[in-house]
Amino acid sequence: AEWAGAKTYSGFTKLICQGATPVPEETYFKILPMEDRIYVGIMCKESNMEGMLANTHDGPLVETNMLELFIAPSGNSFDYYQFMFGLYETRHAYYYSESGNIQPDPYAPEWHHAVYVGEDYWSAELEFPLTAFYMSSNDNWSDKWRFNVCRNRRVMAHGETEYYTWS
């Protein structure tokens, strides 16, 4: 019931390096903030599921169909978190500070995701306990966070990866 009342975000574009044009396959997402965690639901429309699944493997995420979330609790680009995952179990989480110049190690947050493959789309639900953002002092958290969702789309039909983004 909570998802039904959550705002739907769309309007992804290709990254500027690919012309910043509208994308052929839309992506939608919703954010559901709770008292101690954040849920994100993402739906990726796909008219060529067979081609997409043929180009998705349990290998390096950057070579497959995947999603990335960049989250900055401070509301600025000084420090931010990156969460990456694909259709399989491979996933990564990173924390960057000083606009990416510092990557403290190790960063091993608790976060969960589940992926579903439908007939003409694939979707994911993510759960981020607020403790996942422990590298940033909550004294520095803003009431408006920066949020970016990226989708790497690779289908057999044209053989190259398209990079979509919403910020």
**If you average pLDDT over every residue of the chain, what do you get?**
87
CA angle 87, 97, 70 (to 5 degrees): 30
Task: Say what the pLDDT of residue 59 is.
Answer: 58
Q: Give mean pLDDT, residues 45-52.
A: 87
Lowest mean pLDDT among 54-68, 73-87, 99-113, 148-162: 54-68
Task: Say what the pLDDT of residue 118 is.
Answer: 94
Exposure on the CB side of residue 21, measured as CA atoms within 13 A: 6
Considering the chain, what percentage of its residues have pLDDT values greater than 70?
Answer: 89
Query: Which 8-state DSSP code applies to residue 22?
Result: B
pTM of the model: 0.89
85-138 residue pLDDT tens: 988 778 899 998 876 667 777 889 999 999 999 999 999 999 999 999 999 887
